[in-house]
């Protein structure tokens, strides 16, 4: 297993930050056949080969993901894409 841990501060309200994470999750779910759901302020996601969380607070977004064996080789690409999307949404 390979883990990804990315944190970004933001200046949005908690409600607005959660709405952005929801939009990101919807797009990823459609593109990659992922399931997700909220438990409080933490979005849990899963698909074959990957599972994790996106925790949202009033000041930050924290992405934690665990990649399975077959996705280990593309971890750098996955991390780059997470950084790109978070930077794009939370500037």
CATH of residue 15: 3.30.310.50
1, pLDDT greater than 80: no
* Mean pLDDT for all residues in the chain: 93
What is the C-alpha to C-alpha distance for residues 56 and 18, in angstroms, rounded to an integer?
6
What is the C-alpha to C-alpha distance for residues 11 and 52, in angstroms, rounded to an integer?
24
Q: How many domains does the chain have?
A: 1
Q: Which pLDDT belongs to residue 31?
A: 83
Q: Which pLDDT belongs to residue 30?
A: 87
When mean pLDDT is compared over 21-35, 54-68, 77-91, the highest value belongs to: 54-68
Q: Which pLDDT belongs to residue 20?
A: 96
The boundaries of the domain holding residue 63 are 2-89
Q: Which pLDDT belongs to residue 57?
A: 97
| pLDDT tier for residue 27 given thresholds of 50, 70 and 90 | confident
Phi, psi of 65 (to 5 degrees): -140, 145
As beta bridge partners, residue 43 has 38, 54
Take residue 48 and report the two structure tokens written for it: 């074959």
């Amino acid at each position: 297993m390979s883990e990804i841990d990315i944190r970004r501060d933001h200046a949005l309200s908690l409600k607005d930050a959660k709405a952005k994470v929801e939009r990101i999750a919807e797009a990823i779910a459609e593109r990659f056949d992922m399931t997700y759901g909220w438990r409080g302020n933490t979005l849990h996601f899963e698909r074959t080969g990957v599972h994790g969380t996106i925790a949202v607070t009033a000041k930050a977004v924290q992405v934690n993901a665990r990649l399975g064996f077959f996705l280990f080789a593309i971890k750098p690409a996955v991390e780059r894409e997470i950084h790109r999307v978070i930077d794009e949404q939370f500037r």
